[in-house]
Structure 1
Amino acid sequence: MKEVFAATLQAWAQQASPEQLRAGPRAADLGGRTVVAAAADDLAASPLFAYLIDLAGTDEADPSDPQRAQLDRAVLRGIAEHDRYTSYASAVSRLLTYPTLTNRLGRALERALQTRAEAGIDAHATPAIAAIGATATEAWLHLCTTGVLREHRLLGFLTDLPNSLADVALEMATRLPRIVGLVHEHFRDDDLLTLLQHLADIPEAEADAGFELALADLRRALDADHQDELMPALAQARNGFAAVEACDEARHDAQAYAAALDAIMAFGWSDPTPLHDAVTRLEAAVHQHRAWLSGGYQPPWNWARVHAETAWLQLSMTLTAAAEPLHDTCWYHPSQALAALLDAYQAGRSFAAHTNGGGPRGVEVLIRPAIEGTFLRDANRLALLDRALAHDPSFADDDAAQQLHAAIHAAINTFNTASRATTSGAGGDGLGKDLSRLTAVLHHFGIEDAASLVKHAPPHLQEVMESLLWNDEVAQAETGNIKVERKLQELQRELAESSDWLGPMGGPFTILLRQTMLFLASRYNIGATMGGQRTAYLRSSGGTAALEKPLHQDYFEWLSQGPLYNTLQAEPINRGRGRADVLVRFRNASFCVECKREQDDATRDGLRTYAGQAAVYTDTDTAFGILLALDLTTPASGSPDLFSSMWVERVQREREDDPRYIVIARLPGNKPHPSAITTPAARP
């Protein structure tokens, strides 16, 4: 940059007011457009790159003016070539405040941003280049979500990333989860979820990737029209936020969403204490998160996230105000009670439109029936609503009151109490459905069994069961590992197809399943120094194949040190006319673990041949078992990852009514040192 122009710019900065510094210089402040255009390329390469963005963004010359074209070319050159991260980030943040400029640059700007993004994921990228690539990707995201650019190239860039993540610098990898999550939020390409799952394998990105996966589950729940769509997504979202909390206790955003979901779930319970507790936790988390972010720059593409947390807080506080009149036996001030319930009713119907960009669905499915049922079950309250609509203008002109009134009378004319009870699990559009407030019960038992439970159990027992299941199965994560929790949920969904999963079977087997997965996770990572002779069977041993016995002993010792220590037996006889390797005996059920080694074919089809033996041990007990297989076929390119090495096999023999469910857990042996692993050939 010419010395004269540098001195002029410095003189302007010294005399400018704070408002002028924030707005940036005008060409007239620096000697005119001719002088500015001549210095544009020097500005683009200098630490004052942001001032070039201001000058181009405020230039109002005719589109054909050569000096304006010179400014635009210099901006594009800076976006494509500038090599100082801090000044690049400042310039890009300024660029996003000039929509006229970004529209003018159009496709050329997209090419420049894409070039920087691609450079940022290159295996040889320096930390500065990787950080610039992440900033360029964020700007690309903002321009796509605001309609300046089409999203197709951004989606193509991101969905091609999973195979490149191993070589991506941390400066890019740690910022990708939030970018990918926001792109999924706007464009709903589910290939992005695969990318997030891969990002969760990177320790430094694990919490952010898990948070974005949980938000994706929450969006799926908010989109739900019916209970059978809502419950799995809602439970998975809540468990995902719990896993993020367990992974990183400072994640106030995860705490906020978790508390908000707890508040939604507790609305409608006769005891308002859980609702008040959840709202208190939500308020604290939101305030802590705001304090954490205060004073720092918040890019425009992230503003919606902050507003969403506030919307959850407002909804939860509205529900808190409505909880008391929802259950009061008598309304001392009927107009206040009606107003509180109508506020909650309207909030539930409109909430998803503010936070999810669509019509009110998932939250409405949870809140609406509880409020409608209050009036449906109590003729006095319905009479108060009728009178308010007939004689009180403040209610007669209220859309929420009209909608509530119409829904209640339509239900009265269409259904009787018995039909409502028997069809309560059929969807999200019936009125006063008891199942709509029992999310965890539905998630655990399924619609048919949950409907039967609701039909025969008194309301207070339903609430006790809902509270216990929500807290014990949905609203907590024990491992502190986000991917482990998601894999466990996947396995549980498959195992729940068995009729044996209900009652006293599923919970105990989940404990064994979690301990088995944690055993695999430990043994995948453990090295020779820490493992010593006890885990020598996992390492290459000069051509001598490891035996099953060391695996059996190591696994049994692992279980003995955990919560199952007093339930274990080693090699009990008379089990399916044979000897099981490990028996885990609970009060009402027992499970067998069979240990094997495989030297030839450790694929899914190859290991399935052993599932028959594991199934025999279930002949007189619950239909679940585990096959723990030591894989001695590890190729030079390395073993499959942990999450590809656990799956459910169904074994059903002739003349057998129901299948047995055998979880196969594959543990790689003969593991070479990581430095000896070769890169597998690229997939076509």
Structure 2
Amino acid sequence: MTPLEMRFAQPGDLPTLQILGGEDVVWDHMEVLEGSPVWFRVAETLLAEWDTLRHPEKAAKLITEALRRTNSAAAVDDVLDQVCDHFGYLQRADSSLASLALDRSRQHDSPLVAELAGMFLEAAMRLTLAGVGSRYGVLARLVDRDAVSAPAAYSRRVVRLLGIAYEHWRDTDLLEALRGFLGTAVHGDASYELAMCHISDAFNASERPELMRSFACAHGHLRAAIEGDEDRPDASAYLAAIEAVLAFEAGRTDVLSNASKKLRRHITEHTMWLTRARNRWADGRYDMEAAWYDLSIDLEEASFFLDQPLTVWPTRTVQHILAVYTAHRAVRIGPERESAPGLQFLIAPRIEGAFVRRDGLLLHLRAMLAEPSPNWNADAAEELRAAVEAHLHLGVPPPGVDDSGKAHVAARFPRLAAAIGDPLLAPFSEAMLGEMERQLADREVEIAADLPVAQQAIYNEIISALEECPDFQGVVRQGFVRLTTQLIRFLANRTNRGRAHHAPRFAYLFAPAPGGKLPLESELQEDLQDYLDGNLEDVDIEVWDRSGGRADIVVRFPGFEIVIECKRTKGKTTREGLRRYLGQTVAYQAGGVTLGVLAILDLRPKPDWIPNIRDSMWADRIQAPEPSQRDRWAVVVRVPGNRVTPHDM
């Protein structure tokens, strides 16, 4: 072994080219290194420093020639895994590597040669899927009948590659080649791959009988895989997944529950195995197993509620229903044909049937679609609505329908009417409309649930106080709820901020140095505007022509604006004491909705503790000076300034 080879052979980290004396030292010994036992260490060094090489073409030639000459299976497996994803190397050697990989996959007589041949065939497949090399060359190797009698080290890889190839290319010759391995030493792998091919066919089926035939074939092959090799959590997981979907269609909740439990257990077992053997280029398989896991949970949730005599569901449950309704998209293997509904043949009828049987569910869905939550699958919801209405041959009632006594329904259920329109309310009962009105507040409940307990208390008190405001509904309610939540978070953040860690812009919160001046209201104004702007609100500062004056902060929403008046005070800061500022605050509401915000910087000295945040934010109703005018409402945020730390009290 030459001195240079000995340098590469040393244990530990790879030697760098700089330590070796530069890349020219490697080129001077290329012929020796190509056939050296440490060629893979040389290859790893070159690949790691590829972007700094002056002669990358020489590096590509050295690695390719070493791969041609070596018989070290462990080294080949590792280096091939790297070069098949190495952009720099493939730029120089893609075609030569593809040809070499196919050539070396032809010989598979002895166990060692067979193992190498399988690795090179896998590399050829990876390159082909990446657009390098001939697809037909790989196909010829995969369907070669000699592979059936080859050692298991080669035939097992061929079987797995046949399954991957079918998912991409849908060639029936690949299925025939897979069947040739049934009854051989790799019978379990062949059965599993055939099952995966039929599952792929099921998801691309254009009609229900075709899907059921594919599922039946997959079910049989999965059983055969498990019988041939009992240590098959992958086959067991897919078998349980198929059983779960079929149980859902049949309404067999008990079978569905058992199948879902088995699915989760087997996926967990398989995941533990995959953490040691996962390949990036086969990620589709692993991602689909995760999708099956999620689907099993949604199936159980959906199945339970579909069987309940309810007219409406909680928002969370409808999300499960929609996830199940479009499950074929999440668990699909291989390319999707536009006309292939896949699992919809089994899942959609039961869900659509529940909506058809109980018209309240359709009303609920329409309401949810009117103001969809950001994490909703809106496309799925729209598909479901259209499908159910097609079942019912239901058209939208013409405007102005008055169904004997329903003329004032919108007045009794304003939030519901604002969400889905007055005409759609007429056909439904008073009890159902009342329940729907309550359900439309679900998202606000979810918002509050995300807040800490003290902040929830503020939120609940304010929302309750604003319920009497006629403008607090529809899009105005939605926007103002969001703004209120931001203001609560702002108050909590600034109340908790410590003096030792604040930036200069937050100095207005603390007592000035001896002889220093108290801050102006503009410092609160700028801080609040920055906070709201940083949380994706459309905010402007010092806006003229607002009810004849200049607004401190204007927050814009689609269709309306909210003015925030900023003040500072060194006097009374009780609720009654601060009402002196509310007249100016609500004066800015003359040209818009009757909702506003007053932000007060409280500069009273605070030798004792500062107020709890629940005592520093509330909503007030300001009665109009004349009975013929509208009352107005304001949310008050009292930010504690001029304070000392608890340590200094």
Question: Counterpart in 1 of 2:303?
Answer: 323
Q: Secondary structure at the match of 1:362?
A: coil
- Structure 1 residues 298 and 351, CA, compared in 2 at 3 Å: closer, same or farther? closer
Deviation at 1:111, TM superposition (A): 1.3
The one-letter code sitting in structure 1 at the alignment partner of 2:113 is I
Return the letter of the residue paired with 1:340.
H
Q: Distance in 1 between matches of 2:2 and 2:64?
A: 20
CA–CA separation in structure 2 for the residues paired with 1:364 and 1:82? 51
The correspondence for 1:298, drawn from 261, 278, 303, is: 278
Deviation (angstroms), 1:394:
6.1
**1:374 to partner: Cα distance:** 1.1
CA contact (8 A) 2:288 2:331 kept: no
Aligned residue pair count: 394
Aligned-partner residue type, residue 192 of structure 1: L
Match of 2:169 in 1: 187
The reply to whether residue 147 of structure 1 matches residue 128 of structure 2 is: no
Alignment of 1:423-438 (within 5 A): none
**Structure 1 residues 287 and 37: CA distance shift in structure 2, 3 A:** same
Q: Which has the higher contact order (CA 8 A, sep 6+)?
A: 1
Structure 1 residues 43 and 298: alpha-carbon distance in aligned structure 2, compared to 1, 3 A threshold: farther
Query: 1:9 — aligned with what?
Result: 8
Q: CA deviation at 1:243?
A: 1.7
- On the 8 A contact 2:322/2:377 being kept in 1, the answer is no
What is the CA distance between 1:165 and its match in structure 2?
3.7
Distance change >3 Å, CA 62–CA 94, structure 1 → 2: closer
Give the AA of the match of 1:9.
F
Report how far residue 357 of structure 1 moved: 5.3
Q: Residue 168 of structure 1 is aligned with which of 150, 153, 161?
A: 150
Q: Is the 8 A contact 1:80 1:115 kept in 2?
A: no
Letter in 1 for 2:306: L
**Contact 1:25/1:54 (CA < 8 Å) preserved in 2?**
no
Native 8 Å contact 1:259 1:282 kept in 2: yes
- Whether 1:351 aligns to 2:315 is no
The residue number in structure 2 matching 1:45 is 35
Alignment of 1:74-85 (within 5 A): 74-85=62-73
| Contact map agreement 2:147 2:158 (CA 8 A) in 1 | no
Please report the TM-score for the alignment, with normalisation by the length of structure 2: 0.56
Distance 1:392 1:310, change over 3 A: closer
State the AA in 2 paired with 1:112. Answer: L
Contact 1:2 1:39 in 2 (8 A): no
Match runs of 1:429-468 below 5 Å:
none
Residue by residue, what CA displacement relative to the aligned partner does 1:368-409 show, whole Å, maximum 9, x if unpaired? 222111101212222222333346666998232222112221
Alignment match, 1:377 = 357
Asked if 1:108 corresponds to 2:96, the answer is: yes
1 CA distance for matches of 2:376 and 2:231?
47
Q: Secondary structure of 1:264's partner?
A: helix
- Tell me, in whole angstroms, the C-alpha distance in 1 between the residues paired with 2:389 and 2:169: 39
Alpha-carbon offset, residue 414 of structure 1: 7.8
Query: Does the Cα contact within 8 Å between 1:225 and 1:362 map onto a contact in 2?
Result: yes
* Offset of residue 62 of structure 1: 9.5
Give the alignment's TM-score, normalised by structure 1.
0.54
Partner secondary structure for residue 205 of structure 2: coil
Give me the whole-angstrom Cα distance separating, in 1, the residues matched to 2:140 and 2:343: 33
1-structure distance, mates of 2:375, 2:383: 11
Look up the equivalent residue of 1:386 and give its one-letter code.
R
Percent identical among aligned pairs is: 25
* Cα distance change on mapping 1:138 and 1:78 into 2, 3 Å: same
Report the CA distance between 1:167 and its aligned residue: 4.4
> Which one has a bigger Cα radius of gyration?
2
1:25–1:227 distance in 2 versus 1, CA, 3 Å: farther
* Displacement after TM superposition at 1:320 (Å): 1.6
Distance across 1 between alignment mates of 2:319 and 2:142:
47
Alignment of 1:488-499 (within 5 A): none
CA-to-aligned-CA distance 1:312-367 (integer Å, 9 cap, x gap): 1112222122111111112675333323212222334x225576555562112221
**Is 1:136 aligned to 2:120, yes or no?**
yes
Q: Distance in 1 between matches of 2:198 and 2:320?
A: 30
Determine if contact 2:327/2:343 at 8 Å carries over to the other structure: no
Q: Is the 8 A contact 2:323 2:377 kept in 1?
A: no
The answer for the alignment partner of 1:214 in structure 2 is: 195
| Cα RMSD after superposing both structures | 2.7
Alignment CA distance shift 1:396-1:211 (3 Å): closer
| Residues 197/333 of structure 1: CA separation in 2 closer, same or farther (3 Å cut) | closer
Aligned equivalents of 1:179 and 1:136: distance in 2? 12
